[in-house]
């Protein structure tokens, strides 16, 4: 998608991945809570765009039952995500990001072993 941006803005598109936001925010002195909140805010348009893209791929012709199931699932997923994000924010207020680092390292090792075996 870099070809859509002017030359002087291309570096911005390469710097957008969300996984870097927390680290950069912490480097400039922002609190862990604010950094995490910003990351969730940045993820919202990405998730909305991906969802709309999937809906367009699927098509717009649904039966009444399919539409009700889709809307019910969306509402349930939204409510559960609010609860999980609130729990994560409460955890971040009292703990560091070290546990997430070790979790990612462990998960990476497990996935590498799974792929290799």
Per residue in 57-96, pLDDT (tens digit) is 877 787 889 888 988 998 998 899 889 888 888 888 887 7
Give burial (CB, 10 Å; 0-12/13-18/19+) of 50. exposed
Give the model confidence (pLDDT) of 9-37 as tens digits: 444 444 444 455 566 666 677 777 777 77
pLDDT of residue 4: 42
Nearest to 44 by CA among 20, 72, 78: 78
């Amino acid at each position: 998608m870099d070809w859509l941006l002017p030359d002087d803005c291309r570096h911005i598109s390469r710097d957008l991945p969300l996984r870097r936001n927390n680290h950069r925010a912490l480097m400039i002195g922002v609190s862990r809570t604010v950094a995490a909140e910003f990351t969730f805010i940045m993820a919202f348009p990405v998730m909305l765009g991906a969802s709309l893209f999937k809906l367009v791929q699927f098509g717009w012709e649904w039966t009444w039952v399919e539409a009700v199931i889709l809307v019910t699932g969306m509402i349930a997923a939204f409510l559960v995500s609010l609860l999980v994000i609130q729990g994560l924010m409460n955890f971040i207020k009292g703990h560091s990001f070290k546990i997430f680092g070790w979790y990612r390292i462990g998960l990476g090792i497990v996935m590498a072993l799974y792929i290799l075996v």
